[in-house]
């Protein structure tokens, strides 16, 4: 085990996979010479050169489309989209190209590319640089979506994503990059896509979260423990394909579910979790599924305003208590 920051874990995953497979290349805005605005690709251009660690113009739409066909024709591109807020520019390539041809040309081509991006609020980046658009990418058939919360999962999942045969959208969080955690040593430690992880065991209420919301959920569990409530926190890790077994198993135990996502509430990822639980765990439920997500509005800039809209441990704990009342 080595203690690493989340960004360092991602960097290690990229380095190892580029060393392992010469068809892996990185491209995106400011990722080469500068090393990425969050320093995830720091040092990689020096090691692998301009061709494989490529600074690009500000052209998210074409870059994503190019990632799709580059993947079809022999390489494994890792594209960095600087902010998740820019994902709408990538959507045509994801929805009308990658998703479509995963099915239409099945057996003829694989589409092994990774779109890395980061979202989330909390540091005053304003309405166009703080969103979590998980639901938008999770809506697309054939696209896998992962959202790790810890450095270990960040590294293990990124390595799995790069080696996957299908497109993977890799969602990071700007407030996670500097978090530290133990990361297993070794080039072949992968975290499987499609498997959730129980990070806190409990018997009274299940809290399902991903990315930074896992930290909030863990803190909520600590708050609830003061009232004698034992919350179980499930880190989904992969948002699509979703680990239904993990959800079923936890709710069968606790009979109560709180679903958390930093994105908008209406038609959001939490809504999908809620619908999934309703369909698959209905008879286990002892209370309605509680959603904790962003209010349906643009994210404000001023600190007290931004803090008011962001989901957090206190809101999660309140939702859990309401479900248990």
Residues designated catalytic? 60, 129
Question: Residues with Cβ < 8 Å from 46, sequence gap 6 or more?
Answer: none
The reply to whether omega before 241 is within 30° of 0 (cis) is: yes
Of the two residues 189 and 287, which places its CB atom closer to other proteins in the complex? 287
Judged by CB under 8 A, the chain residues 125 through 184 that form the site for other proteins are 141-142, 166
What does the alpha-carbon distance between residue 311 and residue 86 come to, in Å, rounded to a whole number?
22
Q: Interacting stretch for other proteins, rule CB under 8 A, among 29-37, 89-97, 210-218, 312-320?
A: 89-97
Q: Which residue of 20, 21, 34, 59 would you call a contact of other proteins, by CB under 8 A?
A: 59
Specify whether the CB–CB gap between 71 and 162 falls below 8 A: no
φ and ψ at 106, to 5 degrees?
-55, 135
Q: How far is the CB of 135 from other proteins (least distance, A)?
A: 12
Q: How far is the CB of 255 from other proteins (least distance, A)?
A: 5
| Integer Rg of the chain from CA | 19
What does the alpha-carbon distance between residue 107 and residue 94 come to, in Å, rounded to a whole number?
19
Whole-number Cα distances in Å, 263 to 25, 131, 208, 250, 269: 30, 7, 14, 23, 7
Q: How far is the CB of 5 from other proteins (least distance, A)?
A: 29
Q: Which residue of 68, 157, 205, 316 would you call a contact of other proteins, by CB under 8 A?
A: 68
Of the two residues 135 and 309, which places its CB atom closer to other proteins in the complex? 135
Write the DSSP string, 27-86.
Answer: EETT-SSS--TTSTTTTHHHHH-TTTEEE--S-HHHHHHHHHHHHHTT-EEEEEES-GGG
Number of residues that bind other proteins (CB under 8 A): 59
Q: How far is the CB of 133 from other proteins (least distance, A)?
A: 17
Of the two residues 147 and 183, which places its CB atom closer to other proteins in the complex? 147
What does the alpha-carbon distance between residue 225 and residue 200 come to, in Å, rounded to a whole number?
11
Can residue 92 be called a binding residue for other proteins (CB under 8 A)? yes
Q: How far is the CB of 25 from other proteins (least distance, A)?
A: 5
Can residue 241 be called a binding residue for other proteins (CB under 8 A)? yes
Mask 183-202, x = binds other proteins (CB under 8 A)? ----------xxx-------
Q: Which residue of 15, 39, 42, 69 would you call a contact of other proteins, by CB under 8 A?
A: 69
What does the alpha-carbon distance between residue 282 and residue 21 come to, in Å, rounded to a whole number?
46
Judged by CB under 8 A, the chain residues 1 through 20 that form the site for other proteins are none
Mask 205-234, x = binds other proteins (CB under 8 A)? ------------------------------
Can residue 99 be called a binding residue for other proteins (CB under 8 A)? yes
Mask 253-282, x = binds other proteins (CB under 8 A)? --x--------------------------x
What does the alpha-carbon distance between residue 210 and residue 195 come to, in Å, rounded to a whole number?
12
Specify whether the CB–CB gap between 119 and 130 falls below 8 A: yes
Whole-number Cα distances in Å, 165 to 15, 24, 113, 162, 195: 19, 13, 8, 8, 17
Binding footprint of other proteins on the chain (CB under 8 A): 23, 25, 27, 51-52, 54, 56-57, 59, 61-63, 65-75, 77, 92-93, 96-97, 99-106, 108-109, 141-142, 166, 193-195, 238, 240-245, 255, 282-287, 325
């Amino acid at each position: 085990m080595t203690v690493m920051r989340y960004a360092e874990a991602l960097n290690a995953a990229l380095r190892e996979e580029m060393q392992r497979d010469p068809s892996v290349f990185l491209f995106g805005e400011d990722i080469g010479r500068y090393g990425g605005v969050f320093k995830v690709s720091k040092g990689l251009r020096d090691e692998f050169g301009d061709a494989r660690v490529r600074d690009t113009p500000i052209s998210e739409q074409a870059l994503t489309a190019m990632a799709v066909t580059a993947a079809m024709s022999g390489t494994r591109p890792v594209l960095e989209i600087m902010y998740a807020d820019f994902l709408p520019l990538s959507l045509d390539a994801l929805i009308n190209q990658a998703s479509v041809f995963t099915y239409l040309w099945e057996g003829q081509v694989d589409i092994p590319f990774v779109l890395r991006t980061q979202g989330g609020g909390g540091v005053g980046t304003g309405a166009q640089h703080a969103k979590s658009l998980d639901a938008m990418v999770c809506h697309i058939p054939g696209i896998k979506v992962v959202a790790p919360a810890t450095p270990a999962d960040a590294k293990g999942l990124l390595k799995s994503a790069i080696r996957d045969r299908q497109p993977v959208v890799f969602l990071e969080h700007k407030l996670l990059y500097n978090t530290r955690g133990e990361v297993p040593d070794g080039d072949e430690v992968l975290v499987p896509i499609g498997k959730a992880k129980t990070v806190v065991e409990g018997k009274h209420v299940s809290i399902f979260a991903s990315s930074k919301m896992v930290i909030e959920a863990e803190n909520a569990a600590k708050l609830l423990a003061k009232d004698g409530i034992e919350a179980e926190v499930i880190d989904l890790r992969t948002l699509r394909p979703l680990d239904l077994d993990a959800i079923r198993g936890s709710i069968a135990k606790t009979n109560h579910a709180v679903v958390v996502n930093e994105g908008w509430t209406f038609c959001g990822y939490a809504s999908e979790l809620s619908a999934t639980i309703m369909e698959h765990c209905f008879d286990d439920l002892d209370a309605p599924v509680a959603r904790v997500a962003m209010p349906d509005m643009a994210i404000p800039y001023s600190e007290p305003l931004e803090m008011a809209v962001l989901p957090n441990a206190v809101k999660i704990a309140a939702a859990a208590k309401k479900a248990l009342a």
